[in-house]
Amino acid sequence: MTDSPDRDERHLARMLRKKAVIDERIANSPNECGLLLVLTGNGKGKSSSAFGMLARAMGHGMQCGVVQFIKGRNSTGEELFFRRFPEQVRFHVMGEGFTWETQDRQRDIAAAEAAWAVSRELLRDPAIGLVVLDELNIALKHGYLDLDLVLSDLQARPPMQHVLVTGRGAKPEMIDLADTVTEMGVLKHAFQAGIKAQKGIEL
């Protein structure tokens, strides 16, 4: 497609209109508060996105906390990396492996309850700017934790604290409470072609 002065002028006019709309929306959104963000869906990248936001928060000097539900049998790249910064992030791996590996519901419940006890400590600390609750949705989906208690603790957190919840199958009540919800879908996944999970990509 060839460029032309007319096309450039139309582009400039569109961008000027778009900028005016966006500038107005920004001007009408002056408030700041702690957000509850939920990453759910069957697609890959929920935890990866969460840890990207964790790195972003740390880059701004925020104190952070991480509690990983379900995961825990094997070390992941994110755990190995973020444990290098103990002065800025409290990293707790509280799971005992995926549910199809543990095959023991009562043991999974006990692990989830212990993880929530640690989560509550983070959620009560106003010095913590961001709390990542990785795979919490899975624990709630399987009924390992009391949903009403979890929602109540989330609502009672310090007003400027951000919380990021990941895991497929987010409960409708969690979605209703959240400020931002992203559902990740699957278009294609290497595992479907017989390629196993690999370091630096899935773990």
- What pLDDT is attached to residue 99? 53
In this prediction, residue 32 carries a pLDDT of 82
- Is the CATH code 3.40.50.150 the one for domain 34-193? no
Reported as a single tens digit per residue, the pLDDT across 146-167 is 999 999 999 999 999 999 999 9
In the chain the beta strands, taken as DSSP E runs, fall at 36-40, 64-68, 89-93, 130-134, 162-166, 180-183
> For 33-86, how does the pLDDT look when each residue is reduced to its tens digit (9 = 90+)?
999 999 999 998 999 999 999 999 999 999 999 999 987 666 788 999 999 999
Contact yes or no for 124/157 (Cβ under 8 A): yes
DSSP notation for 112-149: HHHHHHHHHHHHT-TT--EEEEETHHHHHHTT-S-HHH
For the ranges 19-28, 31-40, 84-93, the lowest mean pLDDT is seen at 19-28
Tokens of 93: 């791996």
Q: Is the pLDDT of residue 28 over 90?
A: no
The more confident residue out of 7 and 61 is 61
Distances (CA, A) of 112 to 18, 93, 106, 115, 117: 47, 11, 10, 5, 9
Instruction: Band the pLDDT of 6: cuts 50, 70, 90.
Output: confident
Pairing of strands 130-134, 64-68: parallel
User: What does the domain layout of the chain look like in residue ranges?
Assistant: 1-30, 34-193
Please write the tens of the pLDDT for every residue from 106-115.
Answer: 888 999 999 9
The string of pLDDT tens digits covering residues 169-196 is: 999 999 999 999 999 998 887 777 787 8
CB 154 within 8 A of CB 163: yes
Q: Is 37 helix (H, G, I), strand (E, B) or coil?
A: strand
**pTM score above 0.75:** yes
**171 contact partners, CB below 8 Å, separation of at least 6:** 137, 140, 141, 147
Phi, psi of 150, deg, nearest 5: -60, -45
